[in-house]
Chain A
Amino acid sequence: DADVTQTPRNRITKTGKRIMLECSQTKGHDRMYWYRQDPGLGLRLIYYSFDVKDINKGEISDGYSVSRQAQAKFSLSLESAIPNQTALYFCATSDIGEQYFGPGTRLTVT
C-alpha cells in the first residue's frame, strides 16, 4: 500500500461549490503539506502543518483552508471554488528531511 494516499484522484466541480481534498499517510511523520502544481509554475506551497496543533499558511493560501484531524490526516478545503483553482494538488509528508508526495488530485473547476 502507498505511504501517502489522496482522495479523490480526480474531481470536476462547479464554480462556487465547496470541495474537500483528503490526505492520509502511514509513514508516521509529524509534518504534512499541501501544494498545487500548474504548468510552467512548478509546485507552490498552500499550507503546512508541523504537528496536529500547528497550521501555517504557505505562499498561496488565499481561497483555501485546511484541517489536521490527526497525525496521519490533513485535509484541504476550497470554500467556494473558482476556475483558476483548476490544478493538480499534492499532499506531502516529512520528518526533518526529504518530503514524500502522494499521487495527486486533479481538480477541474468549471
Chain B
Amino acid sequence: EDQVTQSPEALRLQEGESSSLNCSYTVSGLRGLFWYRQDPGKGPEFLFTLYSAGEEKEKERLKATLTKKESFLHITAPKPEDSATYLCASKAAGNKLTFGGGTRVLVKP
C-alpha cells in the first residue's frame, strides 16, 4: 500500500528564517511526486511535479527536490504570505494520488 508521511506537522518561522519540509514516500513505481499549497477554507493549489530522483524545481521562494525515498520543500527567506499548509502526494500507476497529512507553516513578521 502506498504511503506518504510529512514532517513536521507544524512549523513556526520568523520572516526570513529559511527551513525545509519533508515528505517521505513508499510507493511501487513512482509516476510523480506532487506539492500543493492549501490556504484555510480553500482547495489545494498545485505547485510542482517531480518525476525522478535528483530533479529540482523552483518557484519564487520555494524549491522542491526529490530523492528515491523523500522529497523536500525548501522555503528560502519566507514572508508572511507563505503561511499555508503544504501538501505532498505520490502518484503510482493509474493517476491516483496518495496524500500526506500536510505541514502547516506559519511565518511571523
List the interface of chain A (C-beta within 8 A of B).
Answer: 4, 31, 40-45, 48, 50, 58, 90, 92, 94, 96-104, 106
Known contacts: A42-B101, A104-B41. The answer to whether A98 contacts B95 by CB under 8 A is no
B43–A102 CB distance below 8 A: yes
B44–A90 CB distance below 8 A: yes
A94–B87 CB distance below 8 A: no
| Residues of A with C-beta under 8 A to B45 | 101
Query: In which size bucket is the chain B interface?
Result: 10 to 19
B43–A101 CB distance below 8 A: yes
A103 to B40, CA, bound (A): 11
A40 to B10, CA, bound (A): 11
A98–B46 CB distance below 8 A: yes
Most chain B beta-carbon contacts within 10 A, residue among A43, A99, A104: A43
B96–A48 CB distance below 8 A: yes
